[in-house]
Amino acid sequence: MSTNAKVEVLGKSDNPAPADLSTAALSALYRIDEFEEIARSKLSEMAFAYYAGSAGDGRTLMRNRSAWEELSIWYRVMVDVSSRSTATTLFDKSMAFPLLSAPTALHKMAHPDGELATVRACGSAGIPMVVSSLSTTTIEEICAASTGPVYFQIYIGQDRGFVKELVQRVERAGCAGLQLTVDAPVWGLREREMKTGFRVPEHLTIANLQRTDHLGPTGHVGVGIAETLGWTITPSLKWQDLEWMVALTKLPVMLKGVCRADDAVTAVRHGARGIVVSNHGGRQLDGAPATAEALPRITEAVASRVPVIVDGGIRRGLDILRALALGATAVQVGRPILWGLSVAGEAGVRRVLEILSSDFDRSMALAGCSTVASITRDLLHPRG
């Protein structure tokens, strides 16, 4: 990548792109919020607004974090936690601890190594990566660089033929499953992106949505989320479309963007093999419930039948413990990965995952849990 390209990615006018933090500097960071502060200083205003932004006034974004904090841990004592295991499985695939890298777009806008840095870091940490369909690296390249399970996030857009071809590509590449995002019949009102004039930088492409025919845009032309990516979604999505996608592939299809128990039950009935409790990181409907509020209703309804994953506002290992106590199989984190990537590429993502992993292990010990299976609902009571 040229110097000019790096400058455009990181948004620093005529100066060289800021250097990645050293190993020593990374080891002195202990909180995810510290990575966000450094990322803000390194990224352009447009890039940071895209990653950090929310819909409307950002109430759901803020509530995603505060809702976890309201859950007190009624820890156990006199439990032998001298030997602990954070390991678990998802669709019979091993995970070092119950966390996935959530699908987030445009990793090369954060760092020149983009999604390849992220997937290598996830492999080192023993966790899966969920690749966004809006990635800046092809799914084939990402899977070739992976040492662990890779899942693919997908939309059902206006061109069903293109969606079918993309599913076939994902299967051939060796992905372990799909996350079908269903909370975006239209794009949310993202005023922060509008004010900063969000667009995909000219030297980058949304690699998995490139088209060689004459039928439509390539997926990265225009200003603003609606112009740039409007063709990737459709307001006509129905339950029959989930059945259509399930029939296309042998891969397990998880439904991402669910906040209601009745929708979760219906999803399972129509073939979903997993549920992802998510409000798109507060980027779609401002006013949607926090995922910590939605999670227990959904796990009570379907967790005995399919895995339930949750994302939104998770910044501590203690939040992972809270989610599992509410019945989740695992959690996903998105923005923390982007902050680590922005700060130091692969090494930055590895450090973020190390912080979350060690904090989860410590939280288990302090709560009196020696295994993931011992994290049960009786650990939690809402404050007050």
Residues with catalytic function: 280
Residue 170 · residue 138 · CB < 8 Å: no
- Residue 73 to residues 44, 250, 294, 329, Cα–Cα distance (Å): 39, 40, 19, 18
C-alpha angle with apex 58: 52 to 157, nearest 5 degrees?
Answer: 70
**Residue 245's closest CA among 302, 162, 163, 169?**
163
118 vs 146: CA distance, rounded Å? 9
* Cα-to-chain-centroid distance, residue 374: 26
Q: Which residue has the tokens 């080891």?
A: 27
User: Can you give the length of the chain in residues?
Assistant: 384
